[in-house]
Amino acid sequence: MISFLLSLAAISVIGSINPNGFAVQIYLLSTPKPVICALAFTLGEYVGLLLSGLLIAWGMIQVIQQVLNFVGESIYGLQFLVGIVLLVVGCNAPKIFKPSIKNLQPLSLKALHIFLVGFTIVIVETPTALPHIAALKQLTDAHISIPTFILIWALYDLVFIFPLLIMVAAYLVFNDNIVSYLKKFNYRINSWISKILPFVLPEFDGKKRLKTRQSKPCNNTGLSDLMSIKFNK
């Protein structure tokens, strides 16, 4: 059980490295109501990840399985093409998306609206976030009770938002002085990720294709089997 929890903790730490969430949080810390906005965004991400994980685990099994069965192995070709497009766009982002000289401001900084922003971001990202899917697979493979499942998944989500809470705590201690350092920190993370991904993605895709040839078709409808279809192919 300890090794199982440590494995989930490691996956959660990896998943918590979220440059998109960091960028939004850093911006919110420079607004007129930094702490309220940042906490609302963090809470939105937590609730969004909690609900989306439970929906994937319990409420969307049949839908996902039917989609995977309909698309078949061609989904990997589609993933490869999407990955290439994203890499090209990412490498040429400064040329494609020229920075605006206008100082754009959000239409609303109400706590409820910021909460919905965080909630929506996580809801959209979770179905394609490999760390979250891997964690859900381990949880379902463990065949634990529903209350235990919810408790462990809630703790996983807490680790996921922990860096955002650290940013808020740092702001409370250092005030506006910390914002510039956080921007530099997020820029370095984006730089590291852009350098690592071109080497990681081809290797992951190669291993996945090798497992696809070796795997057998599965007709079970459980989430564990569904995740096996997704990861072993």
Give 210's pLDDT tier (boundaries 50, 70, 90).
Answer: very low
Residue ranges per domain, the chain? Answer: 2-94+107-232
Q: According to DSSP H, which parts of the chain are helical?
A: 2-15, 19-28, 34-54, 61-71, 74-91, 93-96, 111-125, 130-141, 146-174, 177-214, 223-232
Higher-confidence residue: 186 or 226?
186
Scored b (16 or more CB within 10 A) or e, 169-208 reads ebbeeeeeebbeebbeebeeeeeeeeeeeeeebeeeeeeb
For residue 205, pLDDT beyond 70: no
Start-to-end CA distance of the chain, whole Å, equals: 27
Average pLDDT over residues 163-192: 78
Give 40's pLDDT tier (boundaries 50, 70, 90).
Answer: very high
CA distances from 74 to 145, 194, 233 (A): 35, 26, 11
- Which of 50-54, 71-75, 186-190 has the largest mean confidence? 50-54
pLDDT for the residue numbered 173: 85
For residue 150, pLDDT beyond 90: no
For residue 231, pLDDT beyond 60: no
Average pLDDT over residues 151-180: 85
- The mean pLDDT of the chain is 72
What is the C-alpha separation between 52 and 93, in angstroms, rounded? 30
